[in-house]
């Protein structure tokens, strides 16, 4: 029997959590797989408790509160609880997404065929009614996708519908210096990659990602791209402790990215709003990478979207 613990962290998203738990109840279990859940509520007021208690699941479930604010603190609490169960695998899902019913069967089939340490599939955005049509059609919320069974670059991995071999979990867990900045998952999976972990894609293993109106804006996208640039540099700093020269080169590279993005944007002004935004993404990534190289944080997770 293969034991799997599904880790879910939540913070003041009762509707999203309820949708996720309903979808979890519809998951088809592969033969020989035993599923249990760990849910960590990052709200000291336990606002998720009633949702968890109302969920009629056939799987063992443990619900605990992590009062220290921050996504890394909540993830580490869930990780400790999950590893304490002695599973062979751990899966991660967030309270703003929900899996397709065959998600679990697909990721385990790919894992069995390839021996992967990490298996992940695509996140498909789900927009709420009233979202501007240009946002829905823009593709700006889409993630890169690969062929099922292919090894994919580790830096595309997110704690968003992912299966992980428990033996490959880094001893450091999730870095709590990134608790409000985000990027803790990038650092986590970078450590797995450096330990020799194999990352395999399953394009059938679909996770539906809820995009609330507060995120379905160009302003949110610009901030998200900036934050991504910040965390990329911070991950480098926390992993490798670079000296002044390397940080300087990082800053120069970031400024070159900004310049390239500005030029590409100017050349694409006639192509319309969506294309301008797509090209301006490079500018925001570069600005973020420059700030991160200087040790500047951007605390995206002080704001809750879709609550």
Structure tokens given for 258: 């900004």
Given a contact cutoff of 8 angstroms between Cβ atoms, the answer to whether 99 and 207 are in contact is yes
Reference 138, options 274, 259, 261; nearest CA is: 274
Q: Residue 1: how many CB atoms within 10 A of its CB? A: 6
Give the tens place of pLDDT for each residue, 41-55: 999 999 999 999 999
CATH fold for the domain made of 2-211 = Spore Coat Polysaccharide Biosynthesis Protein SpsA; Chain A (3.90.550)
**pLDDT score at 304:** 58
Given a contact cutoff of 8 angstroms between Cβ atoms, the answer to whether 99 and 76 are in contact is no
Structure tokens given for 157: 């991995």
Residues linked to residue 106 through DSSP beta bridges, in sequence order: none
**pLDDT score at 302:** 61
Helix (H) or strand (E) holding 138, with range, is: helix 133-138
Cα 191 to Cα 95: distance, rounded to the nearest angstrom: 25
Reference 35, options 26, 43, 48, 44; nearest CA is: 26
Q: Residue ranges of the alpha helices (H) in 139-294?
A: 184-194, 218-240, 244-267, 273-293
Burial of residue 69 (number of CB atoms within 10 Å: 0-12, 13-18, 19+):
middle
**pLDDT score at 305:** 59
Cα 52 to Cα 22: distance, rounded to the nearest angstrom: 10
Given a contact cutoff of 8 angstroms between Cβ atoms, the answer to whether 263 and 283 are in contact is no
Q: What is the dihedral of CA 168, 234, 69, 158, to 10 degrees?
A: -40
Give the tens place of pLDDT for each residue, 249-274: 999 999 999 999 999 999 999 999 99
Query: Tokens 């065959």 sit at which residue?
Result: 102
Q: Which residues of the chain have pLDDT under 70?
A: 301-307
Q: Which percentage of the chain shows pLDDT scores above 90?
A: 90
pTM score of the predicted model: 0.92
Give the tens place of pLDDT for each residue, 125-164: 999 998 999 999 999 999 999 999 999 999 999 998 999 9
Domain range annotation of the chain: 2-211, 218-302
Burial of residue 62 (number of CB atoms within 10 Å: 0-12, 13-18, 19+):
middle
Q: Residue ranges of the alpha helices (H) in 47-124?
A: 49-54, 71-83, 103-114
Cα 48 to Cα 148: distance, rounded to the nearest angstrom: 35
- Phi/psi-derived region of residue 209, left when phi > 0, alpha when psi is between -120 and 50, beta in every other case: beta
């Amino acid at each position: 029997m293969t034991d799997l613990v599904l880790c879910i962290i939540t913070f003041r998203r009762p509707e999203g959590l309820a949708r996720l738990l309903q979808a979890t109840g519809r998951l088809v279990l592969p033969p020989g797989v035993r599923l249990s859940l760990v849910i960590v509520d990052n709200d000291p007021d336990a606002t998720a408790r009633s949702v968890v208690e109302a969920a009629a699941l056939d799987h063992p479930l443990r619900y605990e509160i992590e009062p220290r604010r921050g996504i890394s603190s909540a993830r580490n609490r869930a990780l400790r609880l999950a590893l304490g169960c002695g599973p062979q695998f751990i899966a991660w899902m967030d309270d703003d997404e929900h899996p397709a019913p065959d998600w679990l069967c697909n990721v385990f089939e790919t894992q069995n065929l390839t021996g992967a340490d990490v298996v992940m599939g695509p996140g498909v955005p789900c927009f709420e009614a009233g979202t501007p049509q240009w946002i829905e059609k823009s593709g700006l919320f889409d993630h890169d996708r690969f062929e099922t069974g292919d090894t994919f670059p580790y830096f595309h991995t997110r704690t968003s519908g992912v299966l992980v071999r428990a033996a490959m979990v880094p001893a450091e867990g999730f870095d709590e210096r990134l608790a409000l900045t985000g990027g803790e998952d990038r650092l986590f999976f970078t450590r797995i990659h450096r330990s020799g972990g194999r990352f395999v894609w399953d394009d059938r293993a679909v996770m539906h990602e809820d995009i609330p109106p507060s995120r379905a804006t160009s302003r949110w996208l610009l901030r998200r791209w900036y934050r991504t640039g910040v965390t990329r540099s911070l991950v480098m700093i926390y992993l490798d402790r670079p000296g002044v020269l390397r940080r300087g080169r990082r800053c120069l590279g970031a400024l070159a990215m900004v310049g390239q993005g500005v030029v590409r944007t100017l050349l694409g002004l006639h192509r319309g709003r969506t294309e301008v935004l797509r090209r301006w993404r490079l500018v925001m990534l570069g600005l973020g990478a420059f700030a991160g190289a200087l040790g500047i944080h951007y605390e995206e997770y002080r704001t809750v979207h879709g609550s």
